[in-house]
Amino acid sequence: MPVNLEIKVLYPRLQRIYARLKKLQAVKTAILIQKDVYFTAQQGLLKLRIVNDHQEMIHYQRPENSAKRWSEYYVLPIIDKSSEKFFRGIFPVETVVQKRRVLYMYKNTRIHLDTVKGLGTFIELESVVKGSRKQAEKEFATVKSMLGLDDEVELRTSYRDLMLKGLPR
C-alpha cells in the first residue's frame, strides 16, 4: 500500500510561489481539471477522481490530528467512462470537489497549486515514500522550507471536509 506525507495550506496569491518553484528546480508536469466525488465509506475517505481523460477510485486513511499527516492510500484505475453514475448508484454521495490543479514535481514530491471551486487557492505537498519514511520526511522538509510553507497555517483537513463544514477562517 502506498504511503505519503502531506500538507495543505490556503495560499490566496499563487503567483507568489513561481519564483520559489524555479529556485527549487521543480518541474511543471501537468494541468489537471479534477472532479472528486466523495462517497460515504465505513473507514477513511473514498472518492472517484475524474481527471482530464481518465478516472480512478481512491481510498485513503489519514489521521488529521497527528503531528505528521501520513496517508495510506489505494488507487484503482477505472476504464469505464460511466463510472460516476455506477458508483452513485451504490454509495451515498457526501460532496463533490472541483478543482484546477497545476502539478509540479520535485523528486518524489508532488506540488499541487490548486484552485478549488467555492473554497479558494491552495498549495498541497505530497511526498511519496519510495525508500524509507525518513527519506520522504527529509525531502518533504526541504520542499516545505524552500516554498516557505508554515506548519502553523496548515489546514489539517481534506477538501471534502472543507466543502462539508466550510473553510476555516
Picking from 57, 117, 118, the residue whose alpha carbon sits closest to that of residue 90 is 57
pTM of the model: 0.92
Domain-wise residue ranges, the chain = 3-160
- CB proximity list for 19: less than 8 A, separation 6 or greater: none
- Chain segment 130-166, per-residue pLDDT in tens: 989 999 999 999 999 999 998 768 888 899 999 998 7
> In CATH, what number does 3-160 get?
2.40.320.10
- Chain segment 43-102, per-residue pLDDT in tens: 999 999 999 989 999 999 887 666 677 888 999 999 988 899 999 999 999 999 999 999
Query: For residues 156 and 69, is the Cβ–Cβ distance under 8 A?
Result: yes
